[in-house]
Structure 1
Amino acid sequence: MNYALHNGDCLDVLKGLPDSSVDSIVTDPPYGLSFMGKKWDYDVPSIEVWAECLRVLKPGGHLLAFAGTRTQHRMAVRIEDAGFEIRDMIAWVYGSGFPKSRNLEGDWQGWGTALKPALEPITVARKPLNGTVAENVLQQGTGAINIDGCRVPHGEQLRAGSGAIPCRHDEATPRSRAGEVSANARYTDAGGTNFAMKPGPRGGDASGRWPANLIHDGSDQVLQAFPQATGQKASVTGGEPSSTLRAVYEGLAGNRAPMAPRGDTGSAARFFYCAKASKQDRDEGLDGLDLKEGGIKNASGRGFSENDPHRKVMRANDHPTVKPSDLMAYLCRLVTPPGGLVLDPFMGSGSTGKAAIREGLHFIGIEIDAEYFNIAQARINNETINQEQLKKQQELFPAQIDQATHAVA
């Protein structure tokens, strides 16, 4: 696993990179919100920056770029104007945000100026292909997304300790209809060619659910928005209220085919989940750095001041918008071929680089701020050491390491 870090303006550094040399770009650029008065956040990146990103990407390479809800439109338009194809938008939904609202008083008490922030959009864009998707993937290794590598596991996989992506739900076996042919046969006989139709947990394969364009933080606030969805179909009793409803259950020969309950348990929030960056994740590998004021503790969002010293947090990593390594690892894996090269032109404190190294990928990071660059360098170097030690341990004790990994998962 190799990485190269550059402390400088991303536009200058990008111009020094070869054409079609990176496999993916996963980045958390400035949102253009003047966040906490930071000068680097005065605007979203220019078309010129995204054009350089397009140039250094291989044909079919994907770009994943975080944005703010107020400026997502500007981010996406500039990316598109630079020559990218906008493919989708992923929403990262969380419950820990707090509103920065000016609350009114007097006759207008109870009115304010802002909603509670609960999601960050991620623009999904792709450099135009050379030929068809199949041709591009064969030539470049880019152009498609890693569906099977990012499936959301169901309950049985989690209980088996498969080491799969974490999710907070449990699901029983798929529903079945008494007396009918197998699920595989139904799929084939129907002429299905889209493998999303194949039997297994709804939305995909038995190996897990199809990755969605929604990611959530697993918090109680978010899960409460998705009510429990236990079995919705019961066996036919013969007492259905209408002939129309009864006809739904009629077999070809007029015999009723009782429908077994679906048996689904858990909420409808069956998506990949990742909470915001923890203190351990933020500060891992930074033991030698001084602690600094790094933001404001979680608050109710009503009647507090950002300058209140009791709400300040002392951190080695004082970057104000640190993304969790687990989330960045998932995104890197989604759009980067195995052993590929990930670029982050707005590296910040290095979460993308840390994640890429963990995933066994190569990485190029660019950061203009010297203090954040030093933090990123320390975090990524620490992850590299961790992965090298893990590799050596696996070579010496492969069976024991495999068992320990599954036990932790």
Structure 2
Amino acid sequence: MNINLLHGDCLELLDSLPENSVDSIITDPPYGLSKAPDMTEVLTHWLNGDDYEHRGSGFMGKTWDSFVPGPSVWRRCLAVLKPGGHLLSFFGSRTYDLGTTAIRLAGFEIRDQIMWVYGSGFPKSHNLGRAIDKALGIKPTVIPYAEGDLHVPTSQDAKNWDGWGTALKPAHEPICVARKPFTGSVVQNVLKHGTGAMNINATRVGTETRYNPRSHNKPGGLSLNMSVCGMPEDGVGSLVSGRWPANFCHDGSEEVLNLFPHSTSNGNRSEASRQASVKGTSWLMDNHMSQEYSDSGSVARYFYCAKASKQDRDEGLHMMSETQTRNPHPTVKPTSLMAWLCRLVTPTGGVILDPFMGSGSTGKAAVIEDFDFIGMESDSDYFDIARQRIAFKQNQLHPS
């Protein structure tokens, strides 16, 4: 395993990597949650090959989060990525269109969008009633309009606007699924470069692979009777893997699970239905019958659950440093989620690049999944935290 952590601006660092040398890019770049720019000006810069420089600060006042990365970064990413290699990039729901536009302009093709749903978000809203109450206590009690007129707020104004806000509670983040174009067929590209496809069997939904006993009613057939608790491992039959991964995943929190109804799968599809194909693609894949469960429970079981452990973000810091024991990064992603994404788009033994490493969750996931990793981070404090988190996991799993 080769871990290469680089401190500096990714625009400069990417030039040091050989072209077509990286198998996948998995990253969580700045979301640009600041004041909306003039899009005509932004697109004019982008179409002319320049990056738009946004003045101001982003999430929690962080200047590095003032705007999404422009096409220049993604063009460099495209150059170092192997043909057919996938780019997975998180974005905020408000600026997803900006992020994917820059990725498209760089030459990537957008393949899909994975939706990560969670229950831990909190609303960042402006309470109108409270704001008017505050204005009433200011002298002179006037609120200027944009046109220059003045309005004197009253207690009735505060009452009328009580309960009004300016934003919804954030509960999801979209992940852009893009791919570097290639010539020829995907089969030819996979055989030549090892990239272009997704590892479905490595990312199936379900933590167990359970035995499926033969049916007593159909000699030689399969009962396809999967229980929630699983079948005994000494049963006679074949292995049945988890369900097909979807472009939707969640964090398993109570808030999210309560959104899903209860359902029962009977697994009684006909043989003709099981052998059916859609546009030449068989419903069965290497005898993994992911549609054949007979179980019940929350519909959430159909989707990957990236449970975030409380110790995940700080793990290793207290062991590696006497002064830095907590991870202050504002947007730490669950390592389990990043590991699932790593398995999805990275070939065995492949190299993962994260040009916006932050506190190192992608690198930590790469170590867990046994991939090579290249991480880039410009902030010295976050870089040091990422180095400690990744080193701790390396020492834990691969002690020298």
Q: Distance in 2 between matches of 1:335 and 1:223?
A: 27
Q: Where does residue 217 of structure 1 map in the other structure?
A: 251
Q: Where does residue 338 of structure 1 map in the other structure?
A: 348
Q: Where does residue 365 of structure 1 map in the other structure?
A: 375
- Native 8 Å contact 1:26 1:63 kept in 2: yes
- Native 8 Å contact 1:54 1:127 kept in 2: yes
| Displacement after TM superposition at 1:388 (Å) | 1.0
Q: Where does residue 312 of structure 2 map in the other structure?
A: 281
- Native 8 Å contact 2:203 2:340 kept in 1: yes
Please give the secondary structure, in 2, of the residue aligned with 1:281.
coil
Please give the secondary structure, in 1, of the residue aligned with 2:94.
coil
Q: Distance in 1 between matches of 2:316 and 2:91?
A: 27
Cα-Cα RMSD: 2.8
Counterpart residue identity of residue 200, structure 2: I
- Native 8 Å contact 2:208 2:242 kept in 1: no
| Displacement after TM superposition at 1:183 (Å) | 7.7
| Displacement after TM superposition at 1:381 (Å) | 1.0
Q: Distance in 2 between matches of 1:40 and 1:135?
A: 40
- Native 8 Å contact 2:367 2:394 kept in 1: yes
Q: Deviations over 1:331-352 (max 9, x none)?
A: 0111000110000000000010
Please give the secondary structure, in 1, of the residue aligned with 2:297.
coil
The 5-angstrom pairing of residues 370-381 of structure 1 reads 370-381=380-391
Q: Deviations over 1:361-387 (max 9, x none)?
A: 000000000010001111111111112
Compute the TM-score of the two structures, normalised by the length of structure 2: 0.72
Determine whether 1:11 maps to 2:42.
Answer: no
> Paired residue for 1:152, among 205, 212, 235?
205
Q: Cα gap change, 1:351/1:151 in structure 2, threshold over 3 Å: closer, same or farther?
A: same
Compute the TM-score of the two structures, normalised by the length of structure 1: 0.70
Q: Where does residue 141 of structure 1 map in the other structure?
A: 194
> Paired residue for 1:272, among 297, 301, 304?
304
Q: Cα gap change, 1:214/1:200 in structure 2, threshold over 3 Å: closer, same or farther?
A: farther
Counterpart residue identity of residue 130, structure 1: T
> Paired residue for 2:124, among 100, 117, 127?
100
Determine whether 1:79 maps to 2:103.
Answer: yes
Q: Where does residue 128 of structure 1 map in the other structure?
A: 181
Q: Deviations over 1:177-225 (max 9, x none)?
A: x8899689xxxxxxxxxxxxxx898xxx931100100010111111111
| Displacement after TM superposition at 1:154 (Å) | 6.7
Q: Where does residue 385 of structure 1 map in the other structure?
A: 395
Q: Distance in 1 between matches of 2:367 and 2:31?
A: 26
The 5-angstrom pairing of residues 183-194 of structure 1 reads none
Q: Where does residue 23 of structure 1 map in the other structure?
A: 23
| Displacement after TM superposition at 1:7 (Å) | 0.5
Q: Distance in 1 between matches of 2:60 and 2:323?
A: 19
| Displacement after TM superposition at 1:101 (Å) | 1.2
Determine whether 1:318 maps to 2:349.
Answer: no
| Displacement after TM superposition at 1:98 (Å) | 0.9
Please give the secondary structure, in 1, of the residue aligned with 2:128.
coil
Determine whether 1:42 maps to 2:58.
Answer: no
- Native 8 Å contact 2:213 2:222 kept in 1: no
Q: Where does residue 281 of structure 2 map in the other structure?
A: none
Q: Where does residue 308 of structure 1 map in the other structure?
A: none
Q: Where does residue 259 of structure 1 map in the other structure?
A: none
- Native 8 Å contact 1:31 1:44 kept in 2: yes
Question: How many matched pairs?
Answer: 309
Q: Cα gap change, 1:12/1:218 in structure 2, threshold over 3 Å: closer, same or farther?
A: same
Counterpart residue identity of residue 331, structure 2: T
Q: Where does residue 89 of structure 2 map in the other structure?
A: 65
Q: Distance in 1 between matches of 2:171 and 2:298?
A: 19
Q: Which runs of 5+ in 2 are unaligned?
A: 34-57, 130-158, 227-238, 269-292
- Native 8 Å contact 1:94 1:275 kept in 2: no
Q: Where does residue 352 of structure 1 map in the other structure?
A: 362
Please give the secondary structure, in 1, of the residue aligned with 2:375.
strand
Q: Cα gap change, 1:200/1:360 in structure 2, threshold over 3 Å: closer, same or farther?
A: farther
Please give the secondary structure, in 2, of the residue aligned with 1:150.
coil
| Displacement after TM superposition at 1:279 (Å) | 3.9
- Native 8 Å contact 1:173 1:263 kept in 2: no
Counterpart residue identity of residue 216, structure 1: H
Counterpart residue identity of residue 351, structure 2: L
- Native 8 Å contact 1:173 1:264 kept in 2: no
Q: Cα gap change, 1:57/1:210 in structure 2, threshold over 3 Å: closer, same or farther?
A: same
- Native 8 Å contact 2:245 2:304 kept in 1: yes
Q: Distance in 2 between matches of 1:156 and 1:146?
A: 17
Determine whether 1:119 maps to 2:198.
Answer: no
- Native 8 Å contact 1:289 1:316 kept in 2: no
Q: Distance in 1 between matches of 2:322 and 2:160?
A: 48
Q: Distance in 2 between matches of 1:182 and 1:99?
A: 53
Q: Distance in 1 between matches of 2:267 and 2:342?
A: 39
Q: Deviations over 1:288-327 (max 9, x none)?
A: 44667xxxxxxxxxxxxxxxxxxxxxx6211111111111
Please give the secondary structure, in 2, of the residue aligned with 1:65.
strand
Q: Cα gap change, 1:350/1:135 in structure 2, threshold over 3 Å: closer, same or farther?
A: same
Q: Deviations over 1:212-243 (max 9, x none)?
A: 00010111111111111136899xxxxxxxxx
Identity %: 57
Please give the secondary structure, in 2, of the residue aligned with 1:19.
coil
| Displacement after TM superposition at 1:45 (Å) | 0.5
Q: Distance in 1 between matches of 2:5 and 2:340?
A: 21
Q: Cα gap change, 1:182/1:279 in structure 2, threshold over 3 Å: closer, same or farther?
A: closer
Q: Where does residue 112 of structure 2 map in the other structure?
A: 88
Please give the secondary structure, in 1, of the residue aligned with 2:89.
strand
| Displacement after TM superposition at 1:358 (Å) | 0.9
